Chain A
Amino acid sequence: MDRRCDRRRHPPAADVSTTTEHRTREPVQESPSLDVGKALRADPRAMAVRFAAGALTSIVAGVLTLLAGPRIGGIMLAFPAILVASLTLIYREEDAHEAREDARGAIAGGVALTAFAVVFTALVGHTSGPVTLLIAAVAWLAVALGLYRALWWR
């Protein structure tokens, strides 16, 4: 039987993976790689769920900005709605181990997200808007990759 269909009918228990569990501080042996074909074969329904999560978070952040001011609305710019959706989908389509691995990566991603906000706050008004966004995005990528390299890539 198809593994994915089977998992949908019988969702896995919290920890049924037979894969060796890595602790958060343990390095990952596999080198990072990008498979464009795999990305293009992504499940459209899963992408629709993520689109809805992203759109809803953006709108809620905008409404909060209108009601309570930009500082309060800004907090929602880092609301983990997408991570909630991703973890739930990964857990259902793959297993609990893969969901935990994804969440471990998001710890470094969260630190990088904070760096994005700090860099943007420091630079906006001193450089043009698009340049500030670009520098903040580069800072996010640099911190995310730097943390991954330092913590887990051997």
Chain B
Amino acid sequence: MEFLRPATWDEALAAKAEHPTALPISGGTDVMVELNFDVHRPSAILDLNRITELTEWSIDGDVVRLGASVPYTRIINELSGPLPGLALAAHTVGSPQIRNRGGVGGNLGAASPAGDSHPALLAAGRDVFVEAASVRGTRMIPIDDFYVGVKRNCLEADELIRAVHIPVADGPQQFSKIGTRNAMVIAVCAFGFALHPRTRTVGTGIGSAAPTPRRAVEAEEYLQGVLARRGLWESGELLGAEVIQEFGELVKAAASPIDDVRGTADYRRHALAVMARRTLTWTWNDYGKQIRSAA
């Protein structure tokens, strides 16, 4: 096994091109577990810790460019305004120590359906892009195209994740996650939800309840339809129990979970419906307040 320590992004890309089977490591919170337990013996480890730009974020207009290795702790502390859904999700990741090391790039690289970032990224809208690069160039991968299978993403062997581009929130966002414990939770299932008043759209994201993170497309369309038809974006009036109930059912229907050691498929579906109803209620209440206070 080799240990590669590029000092710059270009060196990292060159190293990845030369060693396409090298396993990138940044926070190490996934990679080291596999190494410690003999799950994985990559030909080389590609350490990205020395590339400081990966731990930087910036806001350009109404898009946050989030470096792949910005630790969750900093997302919570520095970005809960522009990225409230992701910040809430970040706050549910492992322990404080894990949050000090892990970042969104690792979640995307591992592409586990249980990764906590995914539902928040999906909910943040269709204009979320993963910035992937190789010596061949850079491409912006829409988040909806990124996850391709269980623990598989669409990256090429020579590509590395450099950043994620996420629109600055223009409405309330929420994130909920189920675990048997009250801390140190690997998601039994999770749900991200966002209101996007500017585009009159809503975003959803389901975690740990399908082979990949996925959005509940029909639930989004249903809700967008109701909001538009009833003029609720403008009025901010209550949604009513029926709409909330139906939204929950559609989210539940969008999942295709399995029974495993962390929970049953039935429970996951049930919990998703509950979380969908609750997060919709919370965000809509917040939105209603905003509308009323603006009026």
Q: Report if A and B associate in a common complex.
A: no
Interface residues of A, Cβ cutoff 8 Å to B: none
